[in-house]
Amino acid sequence: MLNFTHDPAAQSWVAAAQAPGSDFTLQNLPLGIIVRDGSDKHPRGGVAIGDQVVDLAHLAASGLLVGPAKAACCAAADATLNTFMAMGREGWQPLRHALFKLLSSTVDAATQEKVRACMLPLSETTMKMPVEVRNYTDFYTSRHHAVNVGRVIRPENPLTPNFQWLPIAYHGRASSVVLSGTGFRRPNGQSRTANNQPPAFGPSRRLDFELEMGFFVGPENMLGEPLSVSQARDRIFGMCLLNDWSARDHQFWEMDPLGPFLGKNFCTSISPWIVTMEALEPYRAAFDRPATEPQPLPYLDDATDRASGSIDVRLEVSVQSRRHRAQHLPGDRITATSFRHQYWTVAQMLAQHTVGGCNLQSGDLMGTGTISGPTPSEAGALVELSVGGTRPVSLPGTGETRTFLEDGDSVSIKGWCEKPGFARIGFGECRGEVLPAIDFGMA
Ligand code: CA
């Protein structure tokens, strides 16, 4: 449902919010956890607007908010957003609506001054993890990705028979979810290059990124209490960008029969700002399941979700190598697509997660699975773009090529929503750099 916070004509008195290409417009208002550079090191919630951030701890104490908006602001001022997420829409909406009014250019000059006293430049803040991630589950919901990767692993039968019937997932590792900007070491592990030969141990030679989005659980459900698609939709707080780094050689050797383990558990990166589902509302689109495909079973089907379960988030990935940095080049874009192509919606994913009685916790992180669009150039991982490592991807800026990632490569995911008649909103960036492996001295 759209409301006054989606009005494309509304502007902020923070001028940079209206700058061309701005991610943090008045209609966005994403939340994150900030630390002020300098003496005051206490982490607290913040809301980005243009090139500024509203310090929610200062706003809560300012006297500018009353009632539910103030209660929500106090919760969001915490050192993580878990408590605020647990409040549900009754907390999320009053805070968004109050912030929208306070930051709108129609507010009086005296109020502007009071809000300005609660702000600081983004350039003077350090971002922290937005939530304490208690559980992390990663789905597998792009049909194009499943077919592309399936062709590499099982050429005779690329799409597994369950894919069209349920949103597949595995339980991932919460402890190694890190904030954008954190480097990680190339993982060591076992891989086998030839059938019927013993595996080798060493640094991954097929290190990959996975272009994904993440979404966060708000109010919890009790153990044994499944959520319908409609209930699940209301429990999702917001979304971020996510990179599910993957060691393909380790993964393909170890995952049969129990699924991903070391090939996935060494690092998962997320972007620092969480864009709320309310901000994403104008970019919802019909969930398309052609009549030629199996239709969702009744527990995964919902009229509202059919009408608006997909979300059109534009996504792109670029790689910056050491050579790019030496030449002061920004890196080369290697793929671009949209989240709207996923085979399952976020509400269906969450409903599936709980249908057997699994209880979710506030701040739980769900990965959508790799997001690959319908054409080869829209693939969301190098294993697809390089066709299993057989067709190198070019980095035109430096003349280099990649089949998989090399040490020093920095991978950047960007995401934004844009369409005529609505304000642009953006997610910022999710970036991470591959550092050399720990040397076991066994090479
Ligand atoms: Ca993944």
Q: Identify the weakest region by mean pLDDT among 154-158, 190-194, 425-429.
A: 154-158
81 alpha carbon to ligand 1 midpoint, in Å?
24
CATH 2.30.30.230 fits 4-128, yes or no: yes
What's the distance, CA 155 to chain centroid? 30
140 alpha carbon to ligand 1 midpoint, in Å?
7
432 contact partners, CB below 8 Å, separation of at least 6: 178, 180, 181, 182, 183, 184, 243, 245, 267, 269, 410, 411
288 contact partners, CB below 8 Å, separation of at least 6: 310
Ion ligand 1 residues within 5 Å by Cβ: 138, 210, 244
Stretch 247-255: mean pLDDT = 96
Stretch 58-76: mean pLDDT = 98
- Residue 119: phi and psi, rounded to 5, are -110, 160
Active site positions, annotated:
145
> Hey, what are 50's tokens?
């243009």
CA distances from 141 to 324, 395, 405, 436 (A): 33, 28, 24, 31
Q: Per residue in 263-272, pLDDT tens?
A: 999 999 999 9
314 alpha carbon to ligand 1 midpoint, in Å?
18
| pLDDT at residue 110, as a whole number | 97
18 alpha carbon to ligand 1 midpoint, in Å?
35
Closest Cα to residue 301, out of 109, 132, 165, 142?
Answer: 165
What's the distance, CA 92 to chain centroid? 19
Q: How confident is the model at residue 81 (pLDDT cuts 50, 70, 90)?
A: very high
Stretch 71-81: mean pLDDT = 98
173 contact partners, CB below 8 Å, separation of at least 6: 136, 264, 265, 268
pLDDT at 237 over 70: yes
pLDDT at 415 over 70: yes
> Hey, what are 326's tokens?
């030496």
Give the Cα separation of 144 and 128 in Å (integer).
34
> Hey, what are 161's tokens?
């028979």
Stretch 171-188: mean pLDDT = 98
pLDDT at 130 over 80: yes
| pLDDT at residue 40, as a whole number | 75
Q: How confident is the model at residue 442 (pLDDT cuts 50, 70, 90)?
A: low
249 alpha carbon to ligand 1 midpoint, in Å?
15
Stretch 53-61: mean pLDDT = 98
| pLDDT at residue 42, as a whole number | 93
Which residues of the chain are in CATH 3.90.850.10 domains? 136-435
| pLDDT at residue 154, as a whole number | 84
Spelled out in words, what is the top-level CATH class assigned to the domain 136-435?
alpha beta
Give the mean pLDDT of the chain.
96
Stretch 318-346: mean pLDDT = 98
Closest Cα to residue 296, out of 167, 195, 180?
Answer: 167
398 alpha carbon to ligand 1 midpoint, in Å?
29
174 alpha carbon to ligand 1 midpoint, in Å?
14
